[in-house]
Structure 1
């Protein structure tokens, strides 16, 4: 986060002479807008501070609308007080408990939207009237306007704005100096996952694997739109999303509508997400014991449906992200509630191929893959990366609970995957055998095959084995007839070739005998 304005003022209609020693206001207090002269005075005061600061436009930051459970201090108005300021809204969900969405705020009301000063003043008017919408109005690190409870307004500037202060007093309002705005945005140190090209490519893989199916677009605090994701159609959703929207990815909707309807809550509240017909809009509504019957009748003929929890500790998507700006930088200051996969992403983005990591073996899967905990994430070691030498089972190389060091081979951020190698930390012993090409050794026969035999050429139990083709088993001194061998027999062989890349050793018994 960059610098903040140096000079802050609290602008109110409340005389500071009526404050006690603790700063609490004790005089008469009208917390609603008069829709008249006082409201107009507030707007003129903001305009005066903007003029002194050289500001003629503002940016909308962290826009919000309330749920229908609590609309505002004043009665609901069309468009949450934003009608006529922005283009009409597309269909969205804004907390409707009936399944009939009232529509979200207008399209242009999104984080980062730049508006001329006159539109900014109308947004201040809407917030003074507490008629639904709220946002921070800011311009870079030079100017801020924050509307608080009970007609308290906070203006920040990089200039003292003495003329604006005097103008505000003449308007009958009171500008008081403060150290900061209580509505300044606090940002954490965590890094938010961007919905960049890598995110969309990974999401496509998740959808193809049927591990993800619905995208929630939270484009304003308090409102969201839903998008069903199809194989090959993920990229079509991307350009339809609002700038800087927060995204949450969920499993797909179920076509078993009756089963989902049977799980509607008798107590508590859940969110029902459904699609009436294929390729139709995805809708959502809150459902509880009082509304479940009506909503069940409403969506009984839906094509697909899902039921999601609403409590913070239970509402856990597969993963989340925030839309970056056109240059790929995430400038939205709000954060999604991190899912476990997001915490994994934060770890994985610090890892690079070639890095050495330490971890603990957590399990060995039936199909042979070994899993290692590296700081709370389970990385995997495929069978070929456990050892340069052959083995019958991964448990011959590692055991659960064992601490190991391994080299990172690859990192995928979505789906989250880290592949490790144990053998990469050791020199390939097969390469040492290349210096023995042409030499004769004696080793035990380990396998008898239709096309030859294998012979161990190292004096260790897990030593490398080479193939003696059947054509190389003939003894020329015995009229070229094949010799009979069994597993365990010692056989003299000559090393003809060692290929560490293809993991192949070529041997000959015939040439070993001929050279003797």
Structure 2
């Protein structure tokens, strides 16, 4: 739902913009970690008060992965340790936080700590941070007191039709619930030897891998493993199913492409799953890193090549799919699409 009142709130005076809207003044694009940063947070608090909001929901959380474009280095634990009870584990889609914790999450985003999300109350309020200290606040109400307070704080609120960071569904994704039917199909695929690895994308930019034992027609073992994995998945996680790891680790390494980015996933002698992203310059280091690996696979990091067997998104405990982000399109999706005449 598009909120009717959206404002871009910044420290950049509109008088210092050129004819294209580009800021040409002297303000730094990094947080000052001081009074200006505090002014941003007070402005959000004023808009929340005008809207009658005291709690916020985390939406589409993400963490920095391969490349970090922020002006400051990412913090250890993305700054979430000590802020949320279980750190990154509590940073999931749909997590509710009180306003003061929400403001601290905004502070982390202003500081390029490595974590990002939208903070919302559905149909009433939204706040998120863009590049270069651009803050976007949406409300179901006009918030005249908050606008006046924002100007008193030395910031500049500018009315927009919509935030450029408002959620938009991906063109190539699918929004399919990981319901009982999905898990029954996964069980059949595991028992039949077609599938053996589950990727849990719990935030954007980070995944856990789970090996689904019980192949070779061991129905009960597969059921027990799937039940245990399902119970431990993050709320609203996106799921992608892959073929099982290969016990011929040497063959996996020998088959790496001549160039390009891949994610190598392997299981060690204790049953733990690891993964590492590498390109052709790193491939020579993989045998040492994977020493003692008992099984492995390599997954391309290019979207058109990284196509899982099938995929889904975890619904809430009541069975309702409230996540907005989508799972990647799968081999199963391609098989269902009608072929051109």
Partner of 2:35: 37
* Per-residue deviation, residues 66-121 of structure 1 (Å, max 9, x unmatched): 114326320221111222112446xxxxxxxxxxxxxxxx1010111111001100
Going by fraction, where is helix more abundant, 1 or 2?
2
Q: How far did residue 180 of structure 1 move?
A: 1.1
Partner of 2:9: 11
Matches of 1:162 and 1:42, distance apart in 2: 17
Matches of 1:69 and 1:23, distance apart in 2: 28
Matches of 1:268 and 1:83, distance apart in 2: 34
Matches of 2:99 and 2:86, distance apart in 1: 21
Partner of 1:107: 89
1:195 aligns with one of 178, 181, 197: 178
Flag structure 1 segments of 5+ consecutive residues without an equivalent.
Answer: 90-105, 348-374, 378-400, 402-516
Q: How far did residue 312 of structure 1 move?
A: 1.3
Q: Give 3-state SS (helix, strand or coil) of 2:328's partner.
A: coil
Partner of 2:61: 63
Matches of 2:147 and 2:130, distance apart in 1: 19
State whether residues 264 and 288 of structure 1, in contact with CA within 8 Å, keep that contact through their aligned partners in structure 2: no
TM-score, L = length of structure 1: 0.62
Partner of 1:97: none
Q: Give 3-state SS (helix, strand or coil) of 1:236's partner.
A: helix
Partner of 1:300: 291
Partner of 1:123: 105
TM-score, L = length of structure 2: 0.92
Alignment: residue pair count: 331
Distance 1:191 1:314, change over 3 A: closer
Partner of 1:314: 305
Partner of 2:188: 205
Matches within 5 A, 1:336-485: 336-344=327-335, 375-376=338-339
Asked whether 1:228 is paired with 2:220, we answer no
Matches of 2:228 and 2:335, distance apart in 1: 27
1:86 aligns with one of 74, 80, 84: 84
* Per-residue deviation, residues 433-480 of structure 1 (Å, max 9, x unmatched): xxxxxxxxxxxxxxxxxxxxxxxxxxxxxxxxxxxxxxxxxxxxxxxx
State whether residues 71 and 131 of structure 1, in contact with CA within 8 Å, keep that contact through their aligned partners in structure 2: no
- 4+ aligned runs moved over 6 Å, structure 1: none
Matches of 2:304 and 2:321, distance apart in 1: 26
Partner of 2:250: 258
Q: Specify the structure having the higher radius of gyration (Cα).
A: 1
Partner of 1:484: none
* Per-residue deviation, residues 410-441 of structure 1 (Å, max 9, x unmatched): xxxxxxxxxxxxxxxxxxxxxxxxxxxxxxxx
Higher RCO structure (Cα 8 Å, ≥6 apart)? 2
Matches of 2:258 and 2:11, distance apart in 1: 48
2:142 aligns with one of 143, 148, 160: 160
State whether residues 265 and 292 of structure 1, in contact with CA within 8 Å, keep that contact through their aligned partners in structure 2: no
Asked whether 1:169 is paired with 2:151, we answer yes
Matches of 2:102 and 2:86, distance apart in 1: 18
State whether residues 4 and 142 of structure 1, in contact with CA within 8 Å, keep that contact through their aligned partners in structure 2: no
State whether residues 243 and 324 of structure 1, in contact with CA within 8 Å, keep that contact through their aligned partners in structure 2: yes
Going by fraction, where is strand more abundant, 1 or 2?
1
Matches of 1:38 and 1:300, distance apart in 2: 50
State whether residues 168 and 175 of structure 1, in contact with CA within 8 Å, keep that contact through their aligned partners in structure 2: yes
Matches of 2:61 and 2:161, distance apart in 1: 24
* Per-residue deviation, residues 164-201 of structure 1 (Å, max 9, x unmatched): 11111111111111111111111368852210011001
* Per-residue deviation, residues 192-234 of structure 1 (Å, max 9, x unmatched): 2210011001100100000000000011110000000022221
Q: How far did residue 29 of structure 1 move?
A: 3.0
Matches of 1:220 and 1:245, distance apart in 2: 7
Q: Give 3-state SS (helix, strand or coil) of 2:209's partner.
A: strand
Flag structure 2 segments of 5+ consecutive residues without an equivalent.
Answer: 215-221
Asked whether 1:325 is paired with 2:307, we answer no
Distance 1:281 1:86, change over 3 A: farther
Partner of 2:281: 290
